[in-house]
Chain A
Amino acid sequence: MTATQTFSQRLVNAVRRLPLDMTIVAPLLALIVLLIASSLASEYFLNTRNLTNILRQVSYTGIIAIGVTFVIIGGGIDLSVGSMVALVGVLLLFVLNAVGDPVLAVMVGMSAALVVGALFGLVNGLLVTRGRIAAFIATLATMSIYRSLALYLTDAGEVVSNNDIFPDIGGGYWLGIPIPVWAFFALALVGHVLLFHTPYGRHLCAVGSNEQVARYSGIRVRTVVLLSFIIAGVCVGLAAIMLSSRLNSISPSDAGVLYELDAIAAVVIGGTSLAGGRGSIWGTVIGALILGIINNMLNLLGVSPYLQGLVKGAVILIAVLMQYKRSQ
């Protein structure tokens, strides 16, 4: 008995020592339970190819969810990310098809996507900080505007890339793992460091928690909030690169539809409070993985397409209820 106790104690201590916030333990447990249940439920689940598929499917919304995590921690919300994916993707392919040299085109196109994403994020941020419009309303408006621009620029038709090496980014592998997945995890690492190891992250939490305290503490509240929207925009740019290169095309009417909700769901499942002030990047990563695995399992098990939304909704509710219980 004592041996197991010390072992479990050691395990607990080891877990404590990990650079994890305690808030992500619940989603982590849920993820592990889900992994076990899934591998029991379907013989295909643990198939390497299935796992890489899940990771790749998750990475697009996951990358966006990381950006949205910053906005939500700062006390805001960004509903425009889905539409932004389409618009950035369209502009990216325009640039890509306009430049002759394929290597140069990819480099210019990718930089353009990141810059343009940052720019759209800046627009959202300015509306919220300078225009003093509630983030929900401001990004609801830009959600409509960005989608509309994407449709207008393309006459609602799909844009196809004529670049030979572009598809290798989103469709390629490195060490057996798809490149979008590398991008996703690298971004998570950068996001984690930014949030927990830099003054900016600390200030963002303070602003999201209590704007007045932040102001009295000499924090530039508006700049901090503005930056959170720009971060979200850059993440959208990265997601647009990965998505459009995987598909070698982008559909303005279809790309990124409902991504904002998937991203927010991932953030919430990951234990970040919608009220702002606290959050965890790894929690968001786990949240995105949970959503992706559920999606995959429902497909592998052949659950009626009409029921899949129900399961997803139930998982979100359970996640929020668990947070509520914990906070009591």
Chain B
Amino acid sequence: MKLQKWLKQLAVLAAFSTVPFLALGEDDFHIGVSVPSADHGWTAGLLWWANKAADELSEKYSNVEFTVLAANSGTAQVGDVEDLMVRQIDALVILPTNPATLQQVIAEAYHEGIYTVVVDRELEEPTQDVFLAGDNPGMGEEAAKYMAEALGEEGQIVIIEGPSIPINAQRVNAFRDELARHPDMEILDSQSGEWNPQTSLNVMEDMLARYPNIDGVWAGDDDALKGVYQAIREAGRDDIRVLVGGGGSKDVIGMIREGDYIVSGTVTYPPNMIASGMAVALHGLMGEHLGEMYHGVPSRLILAADLITVDNADEFYEPDAAY
């Protein structure tokens, strides 16, 4: 019975502690942000940027309030969006875990007049005001170009790809297409490392055992790159000349800055796209233009896939970031 008493006190405490947050006026905007919860480095970065942007933007614009929710699965994310709609959000910024799973509920939000910004993963049926994403094919293409150049247009390479979702396919296909234009580049094998260092470590160990000579590895993701890097070092192999990642994590950019012996390039796929999405939602909601643009907020924004090498690593380095 004592526990019950605690429970009650806890509940009352919770009730009082939240009252001050609820004072919102007429002309105020409430923006809901829904992202997948952090299951790998990139999504951790995503949440970090979402919170950072929420703090910075709500400080700059006193009439804007953000609510950031993270869900551990697509179905849980559907629930999050429903909860945000109950809180009467004016705009929704969402990076859907699975586009098809979220399609229905995003459409509901959009048709209710909520300003909807979909980030990174595209819906089958476009029900949004703005779609903002990184350049997935560009990511593969840039990586392929750089590897061919770094290996002098000749070499055998291995791909450690991501999980079987559409954006992974876009990247890998673009990589293969670009590499096909370099006749002396050969792809030995391509396996999934799930964008996870642990899995990638295991997969890379298998590859190293199987192929006596590998000239380069494309890890596709900077988290996966760390696993691959460890496997290569532990095996003591010196045939590998270049290891290219993807995403642009601060650790990998740091390695590139310091001139690592094989990690010499990565391609951006920045998690701060969610922050830009939030900014876009804010301006769209207020009916403002972006910068000096003569049009309103564009309905489609694709962020460039930038190649990071030792030459430009400084400008991408963000020492405080979670990714």
Contact = CB atoms under 8 A, between A and B. Distances in A.
Interface of A: 26, 29-30, 33-34, 36-37, 40-44, 47, 49-50, 53, 56-57, 60, 155-160, 167, 171, 243, 246-251, 253-258, 295-296, 299-302, 305-306, 318, 321-322, 325
A113 B75 CA distance: 19
Nearest to A154: B164
B97 interface: yes
The residue in B37, B83, B103 that gathers the most chain A C-beta atoms within 10 A of its C-beta is: B83
A60 B101 CA distance: 15
B69 interface: yes
A318 B5 CA distance: 12
15 contacts: A37-B14, A41-B15, A44-B86, A57-B79, A157-B164, A158-B99, A160-B103, A246-B78, A254-B74, A255-B101, A258-B73, A296-B83, A300-B87, A318-B7, A322-B4
Contacts of A258: 72-73
Given A44-B87, A158-B101, A318 B11 contact: no
B88 interface: yes
Given A53-B86, A167-B104, A42 B18 contact: yes
Contacts of A40: 11-12, 15
Chain B interface size, under 10 / 10 to 19 / 20 to 34 / 35 or more: 35 or more
Contacts of B74: 247, 251, 254-255
B150 interface: no
Nearest to B69: A299
- What 4 A-B pairs come out closest when comparing CB atoms? A37-B11, A305-B70, A158-B100, A40-B15
Interface centre among B4, B19, B68, B105 (most CB of A within 10 A): B4
Nearest to A318: B3
Interface string B94-124: 0001111101110000000000000000001
Contact of A53 (B69, B82, B88): B82
A305 B11 CA distance: 19
B126 interface: no
Given A249-B101, A253-B163, A306-B70, 19 more contacts: A26-B4, A41-B15, A50-B83, A53-B83, A56-B82, A57-B79, A159-B100, A160-B124, A247-B75, A247-B101, A248-B104, A251-B98, A251-B100, A254-B73, A254-B98, A255-B101, A302-B21, A302-B69, A321-B3
A44 B88 contact: yes
A147 to B, nearest CB: 13
B67 interface: yes
Most A-side CB within 10 Å, residue of B47, B71, B163, B164: B164
A258 B7 CA distance: 26
B171 to A, nearest CB: 16
A107 to B, nearest CB: 22
A33 B103 contact: no
A213 B94 CA distance: 56
Interface in B41-94: 47, 67-75, 78-80, 82-88
Contact of A254 (B47, B75, B79, B84): B75
Given A247-B75, A295-B79, A325-B3, A254 B101 contact: yes
B165 interface: yes
Contacts of A248: 100, 103-104
Interface of B: 1, 3-4, 7-8, 11-12, 14-15, 18-19, 21-22, 37, 47, 67-75, 78-80, 82-88, 97-101, 103-105, 124, 163-166
Given A37-B14, A53-B83, A167-B104, A254 B7 contact: no
Contacts of B7: 30, 33, 318
Contact of B47 (A41, A299, A305): A305
- The main secondary structure of chain B at its interface with chain A is helix
A43 B22 contact: yes
A33 B5 CA distance: 10
A155 B164 contact: yes
Contacts of B101: 158, 247, 249-251, 254-255
A247 B100 contact: yes
B165 A156 contact: yes
Nearest to B108: A171
A156 B18 contact: no
Contact of B104 (A26, A29, A246): A246
Nearest to B79: A57
A295 B80 CA distance: 9
A160 B164 contact: no
Contacts of B72: 257-258
Given A42-B22, A300-B87, A36 B11 contact: yes
Contact of A49 (B12, B22, B86): B86
B47 to A, nearest CB: 7
A258 B69 CA distance: 18
Nearest to A155: B164
Contacts of A295: 79
Contacts of A246: 78, 104
Contacts of A34: 11
Nearest to B1: A325
A300 B83 contact: yes
A47 B7 CA distance: 24
Contacts of B69: 299, 302, 305
B100 A299 contact: no
A306 B71 CA distance: 10
Nearest to A151: B164
Contacts of B8: 33
